[in-house]
Amino acid sequence: MLVTMTREPERVEQAPASLEDLLTAVASGDRAAFAELYDRTAPRVLGLIKRLLIDHSQSEEVAQEVFLEIWQTATRYQPTKGAAVTWMLTMAHRRAVDRVRASQSSRDRDVRIGIRDYEPGFDQVSEAVEVSVEHQRVAKALARLTELQRQAVQLAYYGGLSHSEIAARLSIPIGTVKTRLRDGMIRLRDELGVVP
Amino acid sequence: MSAREDEDYGSWAGAYALDALTPDERNRYEQYLSRSEDARAEAAEFGDTAALLGSATEPVAPSPELRANLLAAIASTPQLPAEDPAPSDETAQRAREDVLAGASTLGGNVIQPAAGSKAARRWSRPVAMLAAAAAVVVLGVGVAGGTGLLNPQSEQQQAISALEDADDLQRVEATATDGTPVSVLWSEELASAAITSDDMPELADDLVYQLWMIRDGETIPAGLMEDGETSAVMDGELHQGDVIGITVEPAGGSEAPTTAPILLQAT
């Protein structure tokens, strides 16, 4: 499932346009800018979606919806409010979660999540491939969470489970799930140095 | 909303950023965000944090077809207008943006009319027009009161039967944002519309589904669908080209939408 690919190309001669610049150009109807934005972000967007949906063709369907939405709503993107990649990945995650919950019966999902549990953990996977800087940073930050926090955050974000599903799965009260998710996010935010 | 409840919402911040809330909870939390500056700041930080989790997944190479499909699609897909009147508060802005984003999906593949229907032929109408129509959240023209909203089931059924018998019945199997299948029925001859769904998620006691007709830049309240009901006939006369919307509102309904629509359907 891991594929070698070109990430954002390093250009020596000429500074590449930032993703924010590209998105701003897309907002004015620039289709070439959209193509470049797509080329530079599609593997990441699809990677996130596929992490939740597993199935490749379904993941591509959702990725297509996401990029179409990016094209249509780029006019609404405000560079002052955050990075372009944050805006895009937030949209992709929301849509992937919606698809997970819409398309899977609970039994299918249990099977799917069960399979994921046997996949190697975050750290092992990362060693097998060229590891991105973000990947290393996030893996390090996740390692600073308590086991219980990490489990809850990963089930929510990478599993697409709702807090009540997490509660049922771990046999703990919903209130406890919410607290773990919030505490986990506070620690991740601090470890990752996210500043307002 | 009591301070006690707001205190509870404070613990939802992580679940919200991780998309672990149901659509209904998400809406309620966003209403809470509109009341709390601290919560908004935390939501922004958590949003950035969650996106970092997203950027740490293994990249996956898309098929060449995906790129080709998209580049072909954007060539004929209008973009939303950039206009953005000053919002009264963040929730209203979010709601409006979501209405826009929702209306935009009318041009995508999310809510598809049955092939060959009149709705399909109208598909060519520019999305931008729909978006503009849906965009302006105007204070309601007349409030949908309690009367007429709680029609006895038999009246509802009669109205729906009449619709189903109409010569020009249009029926679209749409999907709400949470994946719930919703049938939208309308007839121009009868100037009437209705929605039916057997699977609408149950709402908290203080919330209700509210129907809207979006016309000429106005969102017109068109009745409520209480918990447990499987159908609702829309109040008021349907005009040609109306967009039908559903939002989740505080019990009793609102004069104008206060949350993002869970469904928009062009007629």
ipTM of the complex, rounded to two decimals? 0.81
The answer to whether B249 and B203 have CB atoms below 8 angstroms apart is no
Arithmetic mean of pLDDT over chain A: 83
User: What domains lie within chain A, and their CATH numbers?
Assistant: 16-103 (1.10.1740.10), 104-196 (1.10.10.10)
pLDDT band (50, 70, 90) for residue B88: very low
Pairing status of strand B263-266 against strand B207-215: unpaired
Window 131-160 of A: residues touching B by CB (8 A cutoff) are 132, 134-135, 137-139, 153, 156-158, 160
> With contacts defined as CB-CB under 8 Å, which chain A residues touch B53?
138, 153, 157-158, 188
Please indicate, yes or no, whether residues B250 and B173 belong to a single structural domain of this protein.
Answer: yes
User: Is the pLDDT score of A45 beyond 90?
Assistant: yes
What backbone phi and psi angles, to 5 degrees, belong to A151? -60, -45
Cβ–Cβ below 8 Å for A86 and B48: yes
Bridge partner list, B187: B192
User: Is the pLDDT score of A194 beyond 90?
Assistant: no
Please indicate, yes or no, whether residues B19 and B130 belong to a single structural domain of this protein.
Answer: no
Cβ–Cβ below 8 Å for A93 and B74: no
Please indicate, yes or no, whether residues B147 and B225 belong to a single structural domain of this protein.
Answer: yes
User: Is the pLDDT score of A93 beyond 80?
Assistant: yes
Arithmetic mean of pLDDT over chain B: 73
Please indicate, yes or no, whether residues B261 and B213 belong to a single structural domain of this protein.
Answer: yes
Is B164 domain-assigned? yes
Tell me what pLDDT residue A1 has.
45
Across the interface, of B14, B79, B101, the residue whose CB is closest to A181 is B14
| Domain CATH number, residue B50 | 1.10.10
Please indicate, yes or no, whether residues B155 and B51 belong to a single structural domain of this protein.
Answer: no
Per-residue pLDDT of A67-80, as tens digits, reads: 999 999 999 999 88
Which residues fall within 8 angstroms of residue A164, CB to CB, at 6 or more apart? A174, A177, B22
Which of A72, A56, A27 has its CA nearest to residue B70? A72
pLDDT band (50, 70, 90) for residue B167: confident
SS3 breakdown of chain A: % helix, strand, coil, rounded to 5?
Answer: 75, 0, 25
Q: Is B126 exposed, middle or buried (0-12, 13-18, 19+ CB in 10 A)?
A: exposed
> With contacts defined as CB-CB under 8 Å, which chain B residues touch A161?
20
Residues A47, A48, A54, A59, Cα dihedral to 10°: -80
Residue B182 three-state SS: strand
Is B198 domain-assigned? yes
> With contacts defined as CB-CB under 8 Å, which chain B residues touch A34?
70-71, 74
Please indicate, yes or no, whether residues B137 and B234 belong to a single structural domain of this protein.
Answer: yes
Can you tell me the distance from the alpha carbon of A145 to that of A86, in angstroms, rounded to the nearest whole number? 22
Which of A186, A135, A125 has its CA nearest to residue A3? A125
Q: Could you tell me the CA-to-CA distances from B234 to B100, B120, B188, B267 in Å, in that order?
A: 22, 22, 13, 13
Is B23 domain-assigned? yes
What is the chain A residue with the closest CA to B54? A48
Bridge partner list, B263: B246
Please indicate, yes or no, whether residues B10 and B100 belong to a single structural domain of this protein.
Answer: no
Please indicate, yes or no, whether residues B200 and B127 belong to a single structural domain of this protein.
Answer: yes
pLDDT band (50, 70, 90) for residue B149: very low
Is B183 domain-assigned? yes
Q: Give the range with max mean pLDDT: A3-12, A84-93, B121-130, B175-184.
A: A84-93
Cβ–Cβ below 8 Å for A101 and B107: no
Please indicate, yes or no, whether residues B237 and B153 belong to a single structural domain of this protein.
Answer: yes
Residue A80 three-state SS: helix
In percent, the amount of chain A with pLDDT more than 90 equals 66
Answer whether A25 touches B (CB < 8 Å): no
Question: B214: left (phi > 0), else alpha (psi -120 to 50), else beta?
Answer: beta
Cβ–Cβ below 8 Å for B78 and A72: yes
Is B64 domain-assigned? no
Per-residue pLDDT of B205-256, as tens digits, reads: 777 888 888 776 667 888 888 777 788 888 888 888 787 888 887 777 877 7
Number of domains observed in the structure of chain B: 2
User: How does DSSP assign A48-61, residue by residue?
Assistant: HHHHHH--HHHHHH
Answer whether A5 touches B (CB < 8 Å): yes
Residue A173 three-state SS: coil
Answer whether A98 touches B (CB < 8 Å): yes
Window 34-93 of A: residues touching B by CB (8 A cutoff) are 34-35, 38-39, 42-44, 46-48, 50-51, 56, 59-60, 63-65, 67-69, 71-76, 81-83, 85-86, 89-90, 92-93
User: Is the pLDDT score of B113 beyond 50?
Assistant: no
Can you tell me the distance from the alpha carbon of B237 to that of B224, in angstroms, rounded to the nearest whole number? 15
Is B70 domain-assigned? no
What are the E-state strand segments in chain B? 170-175, 181-187, 192-196, 207-215, 218-225, 231-233, 243-250, 263-266
How close A13 gets to chain B, by Cα (Å)? 26
Pairing status of strand B207-215 against strand B170-175: unpaired
Pairing status of strand B192-196 against strand B231-233: antiparallel
How close A12 gets to chain B, by Cα (Å)? 23
Bridge partner list, B63: none
What is the chain A residue with the closest CA to B109? A65
How close B27 gets to chain A, by Cα (Å)? 14
Is B117 domain-assigned? yes
Please indicate, yes or no, whether residues B40 and B163 belong to a single structural domain of this protein.
Answer: no
Is B63 domain-assigned? no
In percent, the amount of chain B with pLDDT more than 70 equals 69
pLDDT band (50, 70, 90) for residue B86: very low
What is the domain extent for residue B17?
A: 3-55
Please indicate, yes or no, whether residues B13 and B145 belong to a single structural domain of this protein.
Answer: no
Can you tell me the distance from the alpha carbon of B120 to that of B266, in angstroms, rounded to the nearest whole number? 10
> With contacts defined as CB-CB under 8 Å, which chain A residues touch B71?
31, 34-35, 38
Please indicate, yes or no, whether residues B111 and B199 belong to a single structural domain of this protein.
Answer: yes
